[in-house]
Structure 1
Amino acid sequence: MASIDYYLGTVSPYCYLAGRRLEEIADKHGASITYKPVDLLQLFDRTGGVRPADRHASRLEYRRQELLRWAEFLRIPFNIKPAYWPVNTAPSSYAVIAAQQAGGGDLGGLAHGFTRAVWAEERDISDDSVIRELLEAHGFDPALADKGLLVGAETYGRNLDEAVEAGAFGAPFYIVRETGQRFWGQDRLDFLDRHLASL
């Protein structure tokens, strides 16, 4: 059985565009997924990337057009200027980490729920009440928002180190442990699907 390390950002628009396709692909091939939320801004800093706020205007305009094109193609709601972006991603990331440790709920739904909250629902994913609501909606104890703080903080930092070491430099980033094959971006999920089929 293949194992996929999924490096994600709970505020990433590209993780939102990915939707639940990763989970569908993993189910099809009997693969497991380990969710690894990372601080994307620090990941950019450590791997030669440029933070969105520091990018040239031409890159920002292309990003805007591309996001809207993909949202239309995928037929999903998308607000190019969400009310709560940028936002502190640590609390939501800790919640994903705590939920993964606790088990028993829909972890993929939770991770996607955070990105959808930002890019389609105009919700603040750093707000404790939003985090608790999303935890409960996806089958987890809302108290994980508090219980997982220490472990979440430690794992969040470790995820960043692991991402850099593994060769990840953005999100969504998928790495198949058994083969070392890397796939960057929601538009590479078809290639991940084909790779898993070949194993």
Structure 2
Amino acid sequence: MAHIDYFFSTLSPYAYLAGTRLEQVADKHGASVTYKPVDIATLFGRTGGTPPKDRHPSRLELRAQELVRQSKKLELPINLKPAFWPTNAAPSSYAIIAAQAAGGGDLGKLVHGFMAAVWADDKDIAQDDVVRGALQDAGFDPSLADSGLLAGAETYAANLEEAVTRGVFGAPFYITDTDQRFWGQDRIEDLDLYLSGKL
């Protein structure tokens, strides 16, 4: 059975625009997925990337245009100036890590729910009530927001080190068990084709 390691940040607009297409591709091919949230700002710094706030205006202008075009194409609403961005991604990331360990809910829905909270719903995913609400909406016990914080912090840090070691430099980033790497929500179709044996 194929396996996909999914590296992402709950603050990434491009990971938000991926929607639940990864889960659809995984279901189609019977592939398992491990969700690996990472500290994207630190990842950028360690792999030669530049945080949006430090990018040249030309890059920021194109980014804004591209996000709008992609949101229309994918029929996902997006707010280019969300009220709570950037914010602390750790609480949402820890919740995802705890939910993945606990099982019993829809992990893809949880991950997408956090990103939609940022980019469509103007919610602060660093706030406890938002984290609990996302857990509950995805079928998980809201108390996971309180449990396993130490393990969450350790796994979050380990995910970053693994990302750097395995060649990840942005989000969303997908790596198959055959070390085929796909960067960007616009490469999910290529991931699908690869798993189909066509690439």
Quote the offset at 1:198 in angstroms.
1.0
Matched, 1:48 2:48: yes
Residue 197 of structure 2 is matched in structure 1 by 198
Specify the code of the residue in structure 2 equivalent to 1:165.
T
Give the secondary structure class of the aligned counterpart of 1:5.
strand
Aligned sequence identity (%):
65
User: Which residue does 1:180 correspond to in 2?
Assistant: 179
TM-score (normalizing by structure 2): 0.98
Whole-angstrom distance in 2 between the partners of 1:22 and 1:63: 22
Q: Distance in 1 between matches of 2:133 and 2:90?
A: 17
User: Does residue 78 of structure 2 align to residue 78 of structure 1?
Assistant: yes
2:146 is paired with a residue whose SS is helix
Partner Cα distance (1:122, 1:148) in 2 = 27
Question: Secondary structure at 1:183's aligned position in 2?
Answer: strand
1:87 partner SS: coil
Counterpart-to-counterpart distance in 2, 1:97 and 1:61? 34
Consecutive unaligned residues of structure 2, counting only runs of 5 or more, are none
TM-superposition CA deviations, 1:49-83 (whole Å, max 9, x none): 00111111111111000000100111111111100
Moved beyond 6 Å, runs of 4+: none
Task: Output the CA distance in 2 between the equivalents of 1:162 and 1:76.
Answer: 30
| Rounded Cα–Cα distance in structure 1 between residues aligned with 2:169 and 2:53 | 17
Instruction: Give 3-state SS (helix, strand or coil) of 1:143's partner.
Output: helix
Count matched residues.
Answer: 198
Q: Deviation per CA, 1:85-106: give whole Å up to 9, x if none.
A: 0111000000000000000100
Superposed, 1:59-74 pairs within 5 Å as 59-74=59-74
Q: Normalising to structure 1: TM-score of the pair?
A: 0.98
Report whether the alignment pairs 1:2 with 2:2.
Answer: yes
Aligned counterpart, 2:119: 119
Secondary structure in structure 2 of the residue aligned to 1:81: coil
Give unmatched runs, 5+ long, in structure 1: none
Q: Secondary structure of the equivalent of 1:112?
A: helix
**Equivalent position amino acid for 1:42 in 2:** T
Over aligned residue pairs, what C-alpha RMSD do you find?
Answer: 0.8
Instruction: Encode CA deviations 1:126-167: one digit per residue, 9 max, x unaligned.
Output: 000000011011111101101021100000000000001111
